[in-house]
Amino acid sequence: MQIHAIQTGFVRTKTAQIEGRGHGLLRQLAIFTDRNWTEWLPIYAWVDHPEGVIVVDTGQGSHLLETSKSLHPYMRWEAAFKIEREQEIGPQLRALGIGPRDVKKVVLTHLHVDHDGGLAHFPHSRIVADSGEIARAAGVRGALLGYLPRRWPSWFDPAPLDFAAEPFGPFSLSRRLTEAGDVLAIATPGHTADHVSVVVRDGDTIFFLAGDTSYNEALMLAGKVDGISADEHISIATLHNIKRLAQRDSTVYLPTHDPNSGTRLASRRLAGKCGGSEGSPIVHAMS
Ligand SMILES: [Zn+2]
């Protein structure tokens, strides 16, 4: 099994998005009044192949840069992206020797543009996402919420992830993504109401491909809700469950925008701990 961290460009947002300020609607509006930008943060996508390649999120796409500036007040003023065409996930996979037909499955943690922006590279893959997230992101309502459904490839018709009441650690819902059961999707609501994460079990170690459950590991450990989440209590419960998992099992926590996710993967550094077994042969970070 291999996990590759593939960086598909950069994003920066207002600092009030990364760590929410205040509560309720004020916390969400604080993104618009905040004048402070974060540094440029990575946009990671993840690839894993136990029984055929599984891609987790597709990163940003260079064709979306201009569109994303014009559609929505959040996109226009509160987020900025940088990506060159050769930094998209397709060319980076080809550099790893993985062609479009090698990718058996694409799992989307959610449908924000920096996670589904590389979909065009996967016309032959089975694409799965949570049905609630698919419904929320579609149509006019989705566009009003800051999704870009009109920029999805015309063939995009994701299969719903049907979760089963099969607990994984503190999480009550999961769905196997491999026959071996070593790759699972789990429901991690918060950043969006139907956000999912993917966990990869490698021996005693869990690689937690976290999407946007938090923007970095420190915020997860501190239980700090971001500025986007609709429901603080749900977000806090999810962050708490990830922390409980990390306290119980050896867990490498890998959020999409954490500048340290690539090195943490390469060194298998466990959440909340320094060190780890350096230089594992099974994991690679690419930029
Ligand atoms: Zn997001």
CA of 203 to the centre of ligand 1 (A): 30
CA of 281 to the centre of ligand 1 (A): 31
Residue type for 16, please?
Answer: A
CA of 29 to the centre of ligand 1 (A): 16
CA dihedral of 66, 71, 77, 79, whole degrees rounded to 10: -60
Classify the C-alpha dihedral 98-100-105-108 as positive or negative.
positive
CA of 98 to the centre of ligand 1 (A): 26
**Prediction pTM value:** 0.91
CA of 202 to the centre of ligand 1 (A): 26
Q: How far apart are CA 244 and CA 255, in angstroms?
A: 17
CA of 104 to the centre of ligand 1 (A): 24
Q: Assign residue 139 a region (left: φ > 0; alpha: ψ between -120 and 50; beta: otherwise).
A: left
Q: How far apart are CA 176 and CA 162, in angstroms?
A: 10
Measuring CA to CA, which residue among 55, 23, 24, 98 is closest to residue 200?
55
109-139: string of b/e by CB count within 10 Å (b at 16+)? bbbbbbbbbbbbbbeebebbbbebbbebbee
Q: How far apart are CA 56 and CA 68, in angstroms?
A: 22
CA of 133 to the centre of ligand 1 (A): 11
CA of 102 to the centre of ligand 1 (A): 27
CA of 211 to the centre of ligand 1 (A): 7
CA of 52 to the centre of ligand 1 (A): 26
CA of 75 to the centre of ligand 1 (A): 12
CA of 279 to the centre of ligand 1 (A): 30
CA of 277 to the centre of ligand 1 (A): 30
CA of 107 to the centre of ligand 1 (A): 14
pLDDT of residue 278: 36
Contact at 8 Å (CB) between 143 and 150? yes
Q: What is the DSSP string of 77-117?
A: IIEEEE--GGGSHHHHHHHTT--GGGEEEEE-S---HHHHT
CA of 35 to the centre of ligand 1 (A): 20
CA of 229 to the centre of ligand 1 (A): 9
Provide the residue-wise pLDDT of the chain in tens; the chain has 287 residues. 889 999 999 999 999 998 999 998 899 999 889 999 999 999 999 987 778 899 999 999 988 887 656 667 777 778 888 899 999 999 999 999 999 899 999 999 999 999 999 999 999 999 999 999 999 999 999 988 889 898 899 999 999 998 999 999 999 999 999 999 999 999 999 999 999 999 999 999 999 999 999 999 999 999 999 999 989 999 999 999 999 999 999 999 999 999 999 999 999 999 987 544 433 333 444 33
CA of 87 to the centre of ligand 1 (A): 19
pLDDT of residue 96: 92
Q: How far apart are CA 110 and CA 149, in angstroms?
A: 13
CA of 76 to the centre of ligand 1 (A): 16
